[in-house]
Structure 1
Amino acid sequence: MAGKVQVQKLTTLTGHRDCVYTLEQSGKNSTFFSAAGDGMVAAWNLNEPEIGELVAQVSSSIYALRYVPERNLLLIGQNQEGVQVIDLDNKQVLKSVALPKVAIFDICHVAGQHKAFVAMGNGGICVLNSESFELKTIIRKSDQSVRCLAYNTFSDELAAGYSDNTVRVFDAGSLDLKYELKSHTNSVFTVAYSPDGKLLLTGGRDAHLRVWEVEQEYKERGYLIAHMYTINHITYSPDGTHFATCSMDKSIKLWDAQTFKLLKVIDKVRNASHGTSVNKLFWSAHKNQLVSCSDDRTISVWDINLG
């Protein structure tokens, strides 16, 4: 089976002057955004990948970006500085939202409820109105960082991974805490719902990929020791049949979403991949290309042929 998956590196994108921490989709399959420790946000076009365009420059490092498709806005989480709202149509700052002066690790947007959730380094989740971008409330269930967020359209739930080793699941409408999942033995850095909303995948510093049954009140189905070190990010393929993980161990791994079988390892030795921690992935519907970014300041674009 594993031999069928072919991976080819198409290009390496350079231009960031510091670790590249995050990638985010845009309104077009072929375009995505990147942000880094240098405070720069760039837009890249997979049809002409070598040319990056500067979208915004902020004064601090950026771990979190979120695209708002209804209004063609980009939300930028500036560490210590709050959220900047960029109107992409005319490339202007629509609003700067002042928040507690801590790191911002993730941003999640729920269109139907006009809400944006912001994961904070002080253990709070800031809830913004995504029309006015006023701060509505802050949910605090821990004094340790909220590292990652994911929204489940089907169950209207928000999953949040924390540095206190816990995944907390909230009702996205009422903001009530529904479940606390406590199997991880270290910080939880990534949470991802399957496209059908039935599974929650979680990973983090313990290198364990854990699988939870959403409709069984988040009963744990099992786990895999997926990497040697921290799992930084999990993302599903556009058609939902596969998912990819990336790690501080410098590798990217491709998995079958049904069987959880490992299909391919992308690394420096075999594929001239990144030389340091791989921080984030973006799996584009554009020719099924997978994009990765790293502490090595580069972004790689991969052609994934699943056979």
Structure 2
Amino acid sequence: MSKIQVNKLHSLTGHNDCIYALTEGSDPRYFYTGAGDGMVVEWDLDNPKDGKLIAKLPHSVYSLAIDHQRNYLIIGHNFEGIHVIDLNENKEIWSLKMTEFAIFHITVVGDQILVGDGDGVLTIVDISSRAVKKHIKLSSKSIRVMDVAVEKMHLALGLSDHSVKILDLAEDFKPIANLKSHTNSVFALRYSPDESYLVSGSRDAHLKFWKTDPYELEEDVVAHMYAINFLDFREDGQLLVTCSMDKSIKIWSPEERKLLKVIDKARNAGHGTSVNKVIWSSYSNDIISISDDRTISIWNLGLEQEI
């Protein structure tokens, strides 16, 4: 594996509260952030210093998702439901009141918006009719994170009841597996690009690697000092990034299940408080991170010669 050199390209400011939500746009040159200040901001990786305000809402924004087919931005607005922004028109086109609880994660599958909330309910919204199709009560505890295996048509959900639940999207959300190994809330979840395994991260600071055919635990790694808040794969699946309440970002070899690099305040002028989300840009191949310190960082990983 190459030796990794970390270069901090940018530290972006503009939010007035902790930044909780982060997603890449349909055009991956752009990414979007949402924060406790209710602001949703668009950032341009070609000109990252100037953020563009997309929406200003009265409550915190914990979740954002992109409908790639229509170029919509879905905003999870705590205690009010979802707001849908047409990014082509730069305006809100509809909203839907659906829950009194915090919305922690949203994902879009085909013509449906899947919304996970603090009451353990998965709400399925039909985009064309702009209406709720179904509520699925999965737990008495929060749904914190979701990911979709597109080829398998599997939906993985991480919950605050410490479980990872797998549902079959092709069979009307029929349960496939209920994975129990974590000892605290599951905040981070991602299928590998080839869908051969699933990685989960938890408030218990452990990373767990699950094979997906069938779903079985392969490896358990003590990965951080405190809660793992989010994780993402590089597009080619060769590297994995995690972020944590311990203020650090870590780069892993998912094949070897091995730590390759730590990005933190002491070594790299990293974040000063909890790092809440990370994405691996498919546009620039850089890592984008957001934090309770109200800043967004963009990191370039220079890879030295293969050894």
The aligned residue for residue 258 of structure 1 is: 255
Measured in 2, the distance between the counterparts of 1:29 and 1:169 equals 28
* 1:279 CA displacement: 0.2
2:53 matches 1:51: no
Please, which runs of 5 or more residues in structure 2 have no aligned partner? none
State the AA in 2 paired with 1:271.
N
Q: Per-residue displacement from partner, 1:64-89 (whole Å, max 9, x unpaired)?
A: 00011111100000000100000111
TM-score normalised by structure 2 residue count = 0.97
* 1:132 CA displacement: 2.6
Mapped contact 2:4–2:303 kept (Cα < 8 A) = yes
* 1:130 CA displacement: 2.5
Query: What pairs with 1:146-185 in structure 2 (closer than 5 Å)?
Result: 146-173=143-170, 174-185=172-183
Q: Secondary structure at the match of 1:135?
A: strand
* 1:131 CA displacement: 2.5
State the AA in 2 paired with 1:293.
I
Measured in 1, the distance between the counterparts of 2:217 and 2:180 equals 10
2:276 matches 1:279: yes
TM-score normalised by structure 1 residue count = 0.97
2:296 matches 1:299: yes
Measured in 1, the distance between the counterparts of 2:48 and 2:125 equals 34
The aligned residue for residue 193 of structure 1 is: 191
* 1:288 CA displacement: 1.3
1:202 to 197, 200, 203: 200
The aligned residue for residue 112 of structure 2 is: 115
* 1:190 CA displacement: 1.2
Q: Per-residue displacement from partner, 1:214-258 (whole Å, max 9, x unpaired)?
A: 01x211001100000000001001221111000000000001121
State the AA in 1 paired with 2:158.
G
Q: Per-residue displacement from partner, 1:138-186 (whole Å, max 9, x unpaired)?
A: 1112111000001111211101111010111001131111110010000
Q: Per-residue displacement from partner, 1:172-212 (whole Å, max 9, x unpaired)?
A: 13111111001000011111000111111001100010011
Select between 280-289 and 73-82 the one with higher mean Cα deviation: 280-289
The aligned residue for residue 236 of structure 1 is: 233
Mapped contact 2:105–2:115 kept (Cα < 8 A) = yes
Mapped contact 2:205–2:226 kept (Cα < 8 A) = yes
The aligned residue for residue 20 of structure 1 is: 19
* 1:306 CA displacement: 3.0
Measured in 1, the distance between the counterparts of 2:192 and 2:120 equals 25
2:219 matches 1:222: yes
Measured in 1, the distance between the counterparts of 2:112 and 2:95 equals 16
State the AA in 2 paired with 1:277.
S
The aligned residue for residue 6 of structure 1 is: 5
Measured in 2, the distance between the counterparts of 1:85 and 1:168 equals 27
Moved over 4 A (4+): none
State the AA in 1 paired with 2:185.
S
Measured in 1, the distance between the counterparts of 2:33 and 2:50 equals 13
Q: Secondary structure at the match of 1:270?
A: helix
State the AA in 2 paired with 1:251.
S
State the AA in 2 paired with 1:237.
R
Query: What pairs with 1:104-143 in structure 2 (closer than 5 Å)?
Result: 104-111=103-110, 114-143=111-140
CA RMSD, aligned part only?
Answer: 1.0
Measured in 2, the distance between the counterparts of 1:120 and 1:285 equals 28
Mapped contact 2:192–2:198 kept (Cα < 8 A) = yes
Q: Per-residue displacement from partner, 1:247-288 (whole Å, max 9, x unpaired)?
A: 000000001121121110000000000000000012112331
Measured in 2, the distance between the counterparts of 1:236 and 1:305 equals 17
Measured in 2, the distance between the counterparts of 1:240 and 1:306 equals 15
